Amino acid sequence: MTSAQERLGILGGTFDPVHEGHLAAADAARRACSLDRVLFMPSHQPPHRPAEPRASAFHRLAMVSLAVASRDEFEASDLELRRPGPSFTADTLRDWQASGVGPWQIFFIIGTDAFAEIASWRDYPALLDLAHFVVIARPGQSFDALRDRLPGLAPRMRPAGDVPGEPPGGGSCAIFLVNAATPDVSSTEIRERAARRLSLAGLVTPEVERYIREHGLYGS
């Protein structure tokens, strides 16, 4: 249940597996935008990914649950896993609004690399009025380059910090830019290391590494 004042962060992704970079991005967004909680939401069928996830939906949700178990401000959500077909962000944000959560309360967390492709997402540009977007800097990708790639969205972009409440008169949601140092980790690298029986320390939480080993995921 979400109150009328709560600020809800949503971090979507394949989470195949969830790693320290995801946790750091969520934490950076939480601090920068004063979020009350962040939902980690594994996608059922990623629309922008050509191949199916390597781990099943069950395993991916289990790993997310383990990764966030010790953090009261983080939660695992199976919303997109319960919805059949491709997991479109616009549908997810509308589901939250249908439950009574205002768009000014929702902060969708995304990296600069993914946001650079936002124009290819379903229901763009209307999508940008369904929630605030919190764009986390990725190593080697500057916000100046993002503005150059998406000049039409530059007026909406602002540094995170002074996050408004409900936009007066139904004004537009914002795109908050968060320049945080997050680990340069990829799920691809983790899967490759797991297959070679190499340590995953520092890349995933100990609980997630243990789960990967115990269930033989990624050829481990």
Which domains can be identified in the chain, with CATH numbers? 8-219 (3.40.50.620)
% of residues, the chain, pLDDT over 70: 91
Phi/psi-derived region of residue 191, left when phi > 0, alpha when psi is between -120 and 50, beta in every other case = alpha
Peptide linkage before 47 cis (omega within 30 of 0): no
What is the pLDDT at residue 169? 44
Structure confidence at residue 33 as a pLDDT band (50, 70, 90): very high
The answer, yes or no, to whether residue 134 has pLDDT greater than 50, is yes
What is the pLDDT at residue 168? 43
Highest mean pLDDT among 2-16, 47-61, 194-208: 194-208
Strand partners for 11: 40, 109
What is the pLDDT at residue 79? 95
Which of 62-71, 130-139, 154-163 is least confident?
154-163
The answer, yes or no, to whether residue 1 has pLDDT greater than 60, is no
What is the pLDDT at residue 47? 74
Burial classification of residue 148, based on how many CB atoms lie within 10 Å of its CB (0-12 exposed, 13-18 middle, 19 or more buried):
exposed
The more confident residue out of 49 and 204 is 204
What is the pLDDT at residue 216? 96
- What tokens does 80 get? 């997109």
pLDDT in tens, 150-178: 999 999 999 886 665 555 444 579 999 99
- What tokens does 155 get? 């007026």
What is the pLDDT at residue 142? 82
pLDDT in tens, 92-125: 999 999 999 999 999 999 999 999 999 999 999 9
